Amino acid sequence: MTMIDKAGSYTLGDRMVKRMGYGAMRLSGPGIFGSPADRPAAITVLRNAVAAGVNHIDTSDFYGPHVTNQLIREALSPYPDDLVLVTKIGAVRGSDASWNPAFSPAELARAVHDNLRNLGLEILDVVNLRLMFDVHDPAEGPIEEQVTALAELQQQGLVRHIGLSNATPAQIADARRICDIVCVQNHYNLVNRQDDVLIDALSRDGIAYVPFFPLGGFAPLQSEILSSVATRLEATPMQVALAWLLQRAPNILLIPGTSSPAHLTENLAAASLELPADMVSELDAIVLAA
């Protein structure tokens, strides 16, 4: 047993993963661009995560770019048999660190091969198609050509499972008419709860929901209610925010990111934090006060 086992597991494609995972985005340099300031610390974080029982790591070759995947390969290859690496395609980084759509079938195929090469894999466990009609939020737009292209890469044996990121319910429905979708990765946390209905619908269908920015992203969550609950539980506000997500729905998989070994330990400890019903009600009300 490890500290994260109490949060349980959930099916991701044909694999069972711990619900408390790790997101590798912050291992690259400032602005998720370039190399980390402390490469040994980045390697330590990855190895500590796996040693603590994490078997679900989220990454992408456009983090860096290439940097995060190369760090994962250096730190963890040959990979543990139970480790599931989930990556994203659909964007590239400009020389100015901008995030730009890379959405043609040829660009998607190139991205899959880049991820395979930099991770040192022959097949990717899960590939999330990142939709870029709006860089920050889900926005409607056609995705049939792109999902079909990714499904063809799956048929070629390069991709095991397919997910979507930054997607609307309509786009998810469209994609599911083309191929199986095993997970959806959207922006969601205590104060960003636009996907409440979607999460419950996906849960009924056995599809994992993976919230990105679970702690608020580049502007960490701040709330007097959150701080008050944390004080009473002798926990940190971020631990409480993660614990709330774990109790929100059984299909939620967490991937909080950090480049600090100490912060990693703090995040993982949230898996064993139980929130009493009255405190959950207090936290639920934060979105109404925001």
What type of residue is 155?
Q
63 noted as active-site residue: yes
Q: To which residue do tokens 């500590």 refer?
A: 48
Query: Using an 8 Å Cβ cutoff, are 267 and 242 in contact?
Result: yes
In 3-state terms, what secondary structure has residue 267? helix
Q: Which two tokens stand for residue 279?
A: 């405190």
For 3-18, the DSSP string reads TTGGG-EEEETTEEEE
In this structure, the number of other CB atoms found within 10 A of the CB of residue 194 comes to 12
Instruction: Give dist(CA 264, CA 258) in Å, integer.
Output: 6
DSSP 177: T
Please tell me the distance from the alpha carbon of residue 244 to that of residue 124, in angstroms, as a whole number.
Answer: 30
d(CA 26, CA 260): 10
- Catalytic annotation, pick one of 10, 22, 63, 209: 63
- Alpha carbons 23 and 57: distance in angstroms, whole number: 6
Active site residues: 63
